[in-house]
Structure 1
Amino acid sequence: MSRIALLSEQVASQVAAGEVVERPASVVKELVENSIDAGAKKIEVAIRRGGISSIRVVDDGFGMDRDDALLCLERHATSKIRTGDDLASIHTLGFRGEALPSIASVSRFRLATREPAALAGTEVIVNGGKIESVKDCGDAPGTQIEVRSLFYNLPARRKFLRTENTESSHVEHQLHLQAIGHPEIGFVFVNDERVVYQLPPTTHLRERIRDLCGAALAAELLEVPEFAADNIRIRGFVGKAGVSRSSRAQQLIFLNGRAVENSTLNFALREGYHTALMKGQHPVTFLFIDMDPAAVDVNVHPAKREVRFRNSAEIREAIVEAIRRTLETDRAEWSATFRAGTSAETANEVSGFSFLVSGSPAPPVPETPPLIPIHEQVALRRDWGAFPQPPRAPITPISPIPPITPTEVSPTSPTVPAAAEPIPPAFPDPETPSAQDFKILGVLGKLYVLMENATGLVLVDQHAAHERILFEEMLKRMESQGVPTQRLLLPLTLQVSPRDADWITHHLDVLNRAGIGLEPFGAGTFKIDSLPTFLRGSEPSQLLREIIDDLRETSAQTSKLRLGEHMIAKTVCRHAVKANDVLREPELVRLIQDLLACDLPYCCPHGRPTMIQMSYSELEKKFGRKV
């Protein structure tokens, strides 16, 4: 007797439902995507008991006639593709023709639909995959679907559902994705007869983000200047440097209107942020990618969450470049925030904290040797190892420092005493702020530089600031002069897997330019005879494996010097000024000048902020002067 038999249609549908319908949120996702594909301008979703008891989705799309209403409940029946070639160019959110029959097979299902020009609509009742009735109805144009008693005929599957609150949160998350991905559509969400939100259609994505995520987050987002390259268009919003989360919960990426997950996209975002992101943190993004559907495969997973790209490197390069340009625009806005130096009137209103206060003499300064620029001073204090300091323009020796008044540091002052001649600003761009745009008030805890500008109080972490300065200086020197290398006394061997060996063979020139001396030494084995001098560790082979992993996650156009940036960051952390290092006023001025001249002045190489602004408005609120 044959042991193999065909499954019944009902069982086959339930098996398919296990792939498509995981929980109530999956039902909401599939039904809302169908509504969007139907051209709906308003979608209402109502659930009870987390969607376990009932789910209702109502839209004002183009609806269906009776034949289509019955046919859509058959497996693999769809209006969105016709041939196998259509799978290579999917323009809709749904296309598999599995959602409705799968949902109907595990619930008590009602479909009511009507075309705008039709006199009457069609109502279809289905229980556990069996059609019970088909009749006319008088519902409004569009489609209304009700799903009750989800998994009532699969009790084992029903036991795997979480609490009602947990399932409700998953449903709301799915609606968030759809509402952000399609701001031109109005959404209404009702949970247990309570209206959670009503989102009107909007023409601007920031308004939809503000409605869903709050004004505070919307204010921390940067609009991505529309970027187009190689038939790829990127737009949306990303968080400013320092705005991050410990998970990817707010890292939303939409590909051709579909919320997707892909490791290539995640790596590209992290690489685009570079040192503006702390380790272990993830950027806040609302990123939209539009590209040729033929260049991406969305038919990877039944739930259509995952995608694959025909050319991963191409999309990665585009995202990295778009994020980099966006952060550059943030630098201009950041500079404007800290610009507009304090006027003489404002300066005179502040009573004395330090050596820049009107009418207060400077504190006595002991006899000191001639002043040395801060970089050279730090170089004398600590061993720089493989990164000797380049010659820098000396500062005019001032010993001791004479009293300095606000008028002496004001950029509008007509005359400045020769003994206190300010350091010439090193900023050719008039829009870039300089140290002269601030009034230094003092140093708090021998770490935080307190300054005032036209908008309020500014605090600078002198250690983080100096880290950023040294980090960028080292990188630029390495890019211009090359990576300093050191030959090993005894060459090492590195044995790798066949896939890693193939990758290393194809990238030997890159590794050699990065200061790593590698050459083949047998099957799956390489000989190492030199390493970058900044690599310190008892296990060079393990360090090299980490570097190779870093390089594999780096895009082709990114500087290969990034492979050692974490080592450089550690090096500058050791050599930067510390919390208890006392800096004199001209050294502080030089520190602020060099910081403002950096490419990413607002964060250290580890992603921590270097400078914080507290506006007068914030201070007035804290002191109860303003509500």
Structure 2
Amino acid sequence: MPRIRILPEILASQVAAGEVVERPASAAKELVENSLDAGAKEILVEIRRGGAALLRVIDDGSGMSRDDALMSLERHATSKLAEVGDLAAIRTLGFRGEAVPSIASVSRFRLVTREPDAVAGTEIAVEGGVMRDVREAGCAPGTVVEVKDLFFNVPARRKFLRAETTEAAHIEHQLRLHALAASGVRFRFRKDEREVFDLPGGMSRLDRVRWMTGTDLGRELVELPLTHGNGISVEGFILPPVHARKGRRHQCVFLNGRPVEDSAISRGLTEGFRGALQDGMHPAAWLWIEMEPSLVDVNVHPAKREIRLHRPHELRDVLTQAVKEGLARAEASRRAAQLPASRAIVSDPTPAQQAPAARSWPASIPVQRHFENFTPPSRAPRSEPGYSLMRPSPEVGPAPPLHRPEPEPEPEKVPPFRYIGSLQDRFAILESADGLVLLDPRAARERILYERWLANSGPVESQALLVPLLIEPGPRECELALRHREEFSRAGIELEDFGSGTLQIGSLPDFLKMADPRSFVTSLIDELSQGQTPGARVAFDALAKLLARRAALSESPRPQEAMPLLRILFNCDLPYCAPDGRPTLSELSMKELERRFAGGKSSSF
């Protein structure tokens, strides 16, 4: 065995960098946290090529003297801890003293800093952990940190970086979190010489959340009552249950000013929504939690992303109660606002109120889904008169058919079943020649929709929206959707980049009408984010499966319409399973029934 030896200083710093600096967004996070700890009121972050070519952070904080600037490049050098007891009462964002030397060891690093009362500043240049130059410099009070060619000397790490747009989206997401945590600080973000956002200082937390969510969702924010309990205070905002999302990426939690992730906090939020959320959905929330530093351990993760709570159940209970009270108040306000209007309509109806609504196609009209014109790949079944998988809206007529040559129709397959009834308004109960059959209408609709998308060799016919939709799924989700714009376009969904993490939806598939297209597209992007591996290319087939599932889930099952649905289903190529393999039909044969009911002698009754 080789003898044990101490690692060289540069190698030790590069090992530490592997824990602290995963990607450019990690370096941006550490540098912005240092700026906030230095009391900065303005922070400018500039990047080029996703932050790999250049990451520059400029602040107007307290700055450093020459000696402190040199000391900051030493490992475990920090001004935020002095003795062991300080570790149990951390109030600063940084405290390990590893970030700056670790970043400098894997980049071409430049530090320029000056204290407000100093005549001159200090400039230090470091390349790959080796100090190249130290000199006086004229500069404004505060600190400028430049990180160029990140991982230039660690090619194994550099090759794992994603596309420039992906890395830039992660940096933007991190800056948005800090902008929410420190609402009094001005944040500016420039990407490839273009300003992405400029948030003035002194904004309220509500204004920052509304900036992040957009105007439409901002109107629906529910303010949580300020709660206190056993040294814990909580305030923040949530969105109603209808805006719940896949995953917890839209839960922004700040504990003592630090963006954190914790399962106890997420459980407390979910329990407050108990009974109002679908399985697998998580509420969108923005929470600011203040608690005694002794009640939380932030020294758990090298990147300080995770925490450990000493009394997690207490925080969970406080959150649950705050969410319940906030939702109750919002519901009471909604009912109070609706009451006068409803009385006015009953007591004094006007001609305008009695007039029918004009037909139009704005982005958010309550239209429904239609499948009268469904045509499977190799067949053209006879359409059912007046049938649709969802009842048509009185405002809108049936969807226009796809304009493409139709194959010669084959004889329609008649379902070999007789409808008997429904089970809890979820499954259809059918009788077959060999026994009992249960039909899952949602799985059947998924199969129909899936083959409907795949039936077209070219793009699906789409319906342009008179008023394009603007959705703000977040910078990372926006980048993912734009990366797969071609697949969306082939599915009939036109996406455009509107800037600052916003997407513009210009059209939707013509045969897929929905009451809330904004929620549909947002949920689709969420599910796409959940299911894909980083950097993987999403095939159109996978997107078609997601589209079919989201479309089927957003409508009620209606088992009473089983027979018309079966006539369409049996003209599909694979009618007995949904695109993900779930069965559409499940049969219990007479032999199985007789076996279960036979043998009365052994019955326990």
* Aligned equivalent of 2:294: 294
* Aligned equivalent of 1:506: none
Q: What does 1:411-422 correspond to in 2, within 5 Å?
A: none
Say which is worse superposed, 58-67 or 340-349, in terms of deviation. 340-349
What runs of 5+ residues in structure 1 fail to find an aligned partner? 354-444, 451-465, 468-575, 582-627
* Aligned equivalent of 1:134: 134
| CA distance in structure 2 between the aligned counterparts of 1:342 and 1:143, rounded to whole angstroms | 62
Q: Does 1:14 align with 2:17?
A: no
Q: Does 1:229 align with 2:232?
A: no
* Aligned equivalent of 1:605: none
| CA distance in structure 2 between the aligned counterparts of 1:242 and 1:338, rounded to whole angstroms | 19
1:337 Cα deviation from its structure 2 partner: 3.2
1:254 Cα deviation from its structure 2 partner: 0.8
Q: Does 1:53 align with 2:57?
A: no
1:449 Cα deviation from its structure 2 partner: 13
Letter of the 1:7 counterpart: L
| CA distance in structure 2 between the aligned counterparts of 1:123 and 1:446, rounded to whole angstroms | 70
Letter of the 2:267 counterpart: F
Q: Deviations over 1:361-399 (max 9, x none)?
A: xxxxxxxxxxxxxxxxxxxxxxxxxxxxxxxxxxxxxxx
1:336 Cα deviation from its structure 2 partner: 2.3
Q: What does 1:378-397 correspond to in 2, within 5 Å?
A: none
Q: Deviations over 1:16-46 (max 9, x none)?
A: 0000000000000000000000000000000
Q: Does 1:306 align with 2:309?
A: no
Do the aligned partners of 1:220 and 1:240 also contact (CA within 8 Å) in 2? yes
The 1:202–1:346 alpha-carbon spacing in structure 2 relative to 1, beyond 3 Å, is farther
Q: What does 1:571-586 correspond to in 2, within 5 Å?
A: none
* Aligned equivalent of 2:100: 100
Equivalent position SS for 2:336? helix
Q: Does 1:173 align with 2:169?
A: no
Do the aligned partners of 1:238 and 1:286 also contact (CA within 8 Å) in 2? yes
Q: What does 1:137-536 correspond to in 2, within 5 Å?
A: 137-340=137-340, 341-343=343-345, 344-347=347-350, 349-351=352-354
| CA distance in structure 1 between the aligned counterparts of 2:174 and 2:41, rounded to whole angstroms | 18
Do the aligned partners of 1:50 and 1:166 also contact (CA within 8 Å) in 2? yes
| CA distance in structure 2 between the aligned counterparts of 1:217 and 1:112, rounded to whole angstroms | 41
1:345 Cα deviation from its structure 2 partner: 3.2
Letter of the 1:141 counterpart: P
Provide the identity percentage.
50
Do the aligned partners of 1:41 and 1:60 also contact (CA within 8 Å) in 2? yes
| CA distance in structure 1 between the aligned counterparts of 2:314 and 2:218, rounded to whole angstroms | 29
Q: Deviations over 1:165-224 (max 9, x none)?
A: 110001001001101111100000000000001000134112112223311221121111
Q: Does 1:120 align with 2:123?
A: no
The 1:350–1:113 alpha-carbon spacing in structure 2 relative to 1, beyond 3 Å, is closer
1:290 Cα deviation from its structure 2 partner: 0.5
Equivalent position SS for 1:147? strand
Poorly superposed stretches of 4+, deviation over 4 Å: 347-353, 445-450, 578-581
| CA distance in structure 2 between the aligned counterparts of 1:200 and 1:266, rounded to whole angstroms | 30
Equivalent position SS for 1:274? coil
Q: What does 1:591-606 correspond to in 2, within 5 Å?
A: none
| CA distance in structure 1 between the aligned counterparts of 2:154 and 2:262, rounded to whole angstroms | 32
1:247 Cα deviation from its structure 2 partner: 2.3
Say which is worse superposed, 278-287 or 18-27, in terms of deviation. 278-287
Equivalent position SS for 1:235? strand
Q: Does 1:72 align with 2:75?
A: no
Do the aligned partners of 1:55 and 1:148 also contact (CA within 8 Å) in 2? yes
| CA distance in structure 1 between the aligned counterparts of 2:21 and 2:355, rounded to whole angstroms | 68
Letter of the 2:282 counterpart: H
Letter of the 1:230 counterpart: N
Report how many residues are paired: 367
| TM-score scaled by length of structure 1 | 0.56
What runs of 5+ residues in structure 2 fail to find an aligned partner? 357-389, 396-423, 426-555, 562-605
Q: Deviations over 1:547-594 (max 9, x none)?
A: xxxxxxxxxxxxxxxxxxxxxxxxxxxxx9x8989xxxxxxxxxxxxx
The 1:346–1:171 alpha-carbon spacing in structure 2 relative to 1, beyond 3 Å, is same
1:268 Cα deviation from its structure 2 partner: 1.1
Equivalent position SS for 2:122? strand
* Aligned equivalent of 1:32: 32
Letter of the 1:325 counterpart: E
Letter of the 1:346 counterpart: P
| TM-score scaled by length of structure 2 | 0.58
Letter of the 2:219 counterpart: A
The 1:331–1:447 alpha-carbon spacing in structure 2 relative to 1, beyond 3 Å, is farther
Equivalent position SS for 2:275? helix
1:2 Cα deviation from its structure 2 partner: 5.4
The 1:449–1:287 alpha-carbon spacing in structure 2 relative to 1, beyond 3 Å, is farther
* Aligned equivalent of 1:111: 111
Q: Deviations over 1:334-362 (max 9, x none)?
A: 21232112243335654499xxxxxxxxx
| CA distance in structure 2 between the aligned counterparts of 1:170 and 1:227, rounded to whole angstroms | 32
Q: Deviations over 1:77-106 (max 9, x none)?
A: 000011111111100000000000000000
| CA distance in structure 1 between the aligned counterparts of 2:156 and 2:249, rounded to whole angstroms | 30
